[in-house]
Chain A
Amino acid sequence: MTTTERSTETAVMTSAAAMNSALDVAMAADDKIILLGEDIAEPTGGVFKVSKGLSTKYGVERVRSTPIAEQAIVGTAVGLALGGYRAVAEIMFFDFIAVCMDQVVNHAAKFRYMTGGATPTPITVRTVVGSSRFGAQHAQSLEAWFMHTPGINVVMPSSPADAKGLLAACLESEDPCLYIEHISLAYSKKEEVPTGHYSIPLGQANVLRPGRDVTLVTYGPQVPVVEQAAEELAAKGIEAEVIDLRTLVPLDFDTVLSSVERTRRAVIVHEATQFCGPGAEISSRIHEELFNELIAPVQRVGSDYSPVPFSSALSGYPTVAKIVSSVEELM
């Protein structure tokens, strides 16, 4: 990508349309961008329609439907990167990444390091997570696995504009990126999104709501849940600051720490399992840096320690009530 000008025109889009727009703009500007994934070409255009229309526009050479073979999809993306291309590998559901874990964590993430900087493999792996509609093998939030692997950026947008800006940043990154989309956000929310080139730097958290009493740190699908909790807390006279991390690697500790330094209380909320989840690292960092400033220990609200259950009668996900209750315990 050489385009650096920001688009001034906008249109109302869903996250799915915003991601499609990011891919479209990037593919138009850079013919080295190749998409790989199951069913991504027409007529399907991807099972979530993120690549809809792109194979018609750019050809099936560049928007390449593959066999169901995740190791080869990501491995091919890595090889394309070694050959000077920018591949976007679509892994239909996050859970399926276990099938190609070797290529993601042993190859894409480590090639730059293992070769002393000589062969970076800047691929983007796009994947989808969320909801228990399909049961335990189509729902798990696995971002902590990748945060724990040096060498790969981990990105998780929460809105259509961020979905476009962050995907564009992944496509421009010199490093491999794991870009995690949330199924419940793909079509639910619409907002104004720049139609042309638009990218948001990786590693910059977004303060969605200012507040003086407590910092709520979250990302991805829990953003709307946390925003609702902040509304309820406001009604109770508790002003919560809400931070959307947007990227987990690089993680914007500066924004988190400067917020907590003011509010002196923090709750971290995520859909990944709470035990050994991303919140553990963030909480620990806050304690290490701000122990003397804290009024109360940092709290976490993550998913309960179980596989994601199928029945809607069961759910371990964070809820508004759990978040509100956690904050009230701190006050």
Chain B
Amino acid sequence: MSEQTLSHTTTTDAGSIPDTDVLEQMYRLMVTTTLADNRSTQEAKAGRLQAAFYPVRGMEAVCAALGAVLTPQDRLVSTYRNLGDALAKGVTLRSIMAELYGRIDGTSKGKGGPMHLHDTAVGFMATTGIVGSGLPIAVGLALANQLDGGGAATVVTFGDAATSIGAYHEAMNFAALWKLPIVFICQNNQWGEHTPIAEYAPSVELAKRASAYSMPAERVDGFDALATMHAIETAVERARRNDGPTFLECVTYRLTGHSGTADFSYVPRDELGAAMQRDPAPTFRSWLIDRGLTTAERIEALDREAEAYVLDAFQFAENSPLPHEDELFTDVFADDTWVRSVK
């Protein structure tokens, strides 16, 4: 597909349609992400969050597709724009939100912040705040998996702008050279902070770059949850079979600013309007109902469930204590004796 077709397609019946419980799980994830994302942006704008929040609006379908395919044995390395990825992998919204508020019940005891979420128990291995730096780390995880005998996939997500940094190319080269069980998922939202993709990339079809590394690649409509899910499934299964890496470009559009508090006026209104027509959760909701795959009543129940889940998570985060000041010196090294002696 090309950018020109973006605003004219909707969720398709690409490939086989999963069972209702999978579809509902995907919808639940999308609507939860949207609601939590909107609320986080509000909290950031109101000054109640310590730092900016990096919204994932527009990428919900890709995240839901990841959630439908990945198991806890598969490992995911994500970026600072990670809310949907974390939920997809099974990280609880309570621990995510507590980390956003810098509280002790956060995934990192409040010491990492939203850019450094993790939950190794569910295979959510790391998130990084340096654009593109997660790719070589994921290569190492995939190598560990290959050395362990394989059977699981390592997935790394990153934005389109990450394809400009050297670490991206080095990681692609290592993965292809060593036939690692890894899936590179570019969540192409078509913006690198405040710069549109056409102004920093000579070819906006990023999937084409994989051919330089003799790596299988696919470019998929990232607003189309099913098409994306099938593409991820194919790539992840290839990795689980130890048949090597895949590059997957999921073309979406960022429906908000770079950060939850940043000015957003630089985004062309017509482009944004067209993309908003394809807002993932409402689009998927309509498709599910129109296709008779679920009922309006069931959707309403899922919406209420998601609202309650998000409300609970924010309340939990607000009520969670701040870390004790002593935490400053723990976790610098395994043993904090020397750290305390030098301060």
Q: Which residues of B contact A102 (CB under 8 A)?
A: 130, 133, 167
Produce 1/0 per residue, A45-76, CB < 8 A to B: 00000000000000001000011010110111
Q: List 17 A–B pairs whose Cβ atoms lie within 8 Å, in order of A's numbering.
A: A76-B143, A82-B144, A83-B148, A85-B144, A103-B167, A106-B130, A107-B130, A113-B112, A114-B108, A115-B107, A115-B331, A116-B106, A117-B109, A117-B331, A119-B125, A174-B333, A175-B334
A82 adjacent to B171 (CB under 8 Å):
no
A112 adjacent to B331 (CB under 8 Å):
yes
- How long is the Cα–Cα vector from A118 to B120 in the complex, in angstroms? 8
Can you name 7 extra interface pairs (CB under 8 A) apart from A34-B147, A120-B334, A151-B332? A76-B139, A77-B140, A83-B144, A103-B133, A107-B128, A116-B109, A117-B331
Q: A56 CB to closest chain B CB, in angstroms?
A: 19
Task: List the B residue with the shortest CB-CB distance to A85.
Answer: B144
Q: Which of A67, A107, A116 contacts B137 (CB 8 A)?
A: A107
A72 adjacent to B332 (CB under 8 Å):
no
B143 adjacent to A118 (CB under 8 Å):
no
Within 8 Å of chain B (Cβ to Cβ): is A250? yes
A83 adjacent to B139 (CB under 8 Å):
no
Within 8 Å of chain B (Cβ to Cβ): is A243? no
B170 adjacent to A79 (CB under 8 Å):
no
A76 adjacent to B112 (CB under 8 Å):
no
Tell whether A76 pairs with B140 under 8 Å between CB atoms, given A71-B166, A118-B120. yes
A72 adjacent to B330 (CB under 8 Å):
no
Q: Which residues of B contact A76 (CB under 8 A)?
A: 136-137, 139-140, 143, 174
Count CB-based A-B contacts (< 8 Å). Answer: 148
B residues 51-108 with Cβ under 8 Å of A?
A: 75, 77, 106-108
B residues 113-136 with Cβ under 8 Å of A?
A: 113, 116, 118, 120, 125-126, 128, 130, 133, 135-136
Residue total for B at the interface (Cβ-Cβ under 8 A): 48
A residues 104-156 with Cβ under 8 Å of B?
A: 106-107, 111-120, 150-151, 153
A119 adjacent to B341 (CB under 8 Å):
no
A82 adjacent to B333 (CB under 8 Å):
no
Task: List the A residue with the shortest CB-CB distance to B134.
Answer: A75
Within 8 Å of chain B (Cβ to Cβ): is A324? no
A111, A113, A116, most chain B CB atoms within 10 A? A116
A79 adjacent to B143 (CB under 8 Å):
yes
Residue total for A at the interface (Cβ-Cβ under 8 A): 44
Tell whether A82 pairs with B141 under 8 Å between CB atoms, given A112-B334, A114-B116, A250-B338. yes
A67, A75, A120, most chain B CB atoms within 10 A? A75
A67 adjacent to B173 (CB under 8 Å):
yes
A residues 1-58 with Cβ under 8 Å of B?
A: 34
- How long is the Cα–Cα vector from A34 to B106 in the complex, in angstroms? 33
Task: List the A residue with the shortest CB-CB distance to B182.
Answer: A79
Within 8 Å of chain B (Cβ to Cβ): is A87? yes
Produce 1/0 per residue, A168-182, CB < 8 A to B: 000001110000000
- How long is the Cα–Cα vector from A118 to B106 in the complex, in angstroms? 12
Produce 1/0 per residue, A72-107, CB < 8 A to B: 101111111111110100000000000000110011
Q: Which residues of B contact A77 (CB under 8 A)?
A: 140
Q: Which of B120, B140, B148, B339 contacts A79 (CB 8 A)?
A: B140
A107 adjacent to B112 (CB under 8 Å):
no
- How long is the Cα–Cα vector from A102 to B174 in the complex, in angstroms? 18
Q: Which residues of A contact B332 (CB under 8 A)?
A: 112-113, 150-151
B111 adjacent to A116 (CB under 8 Å):
yes
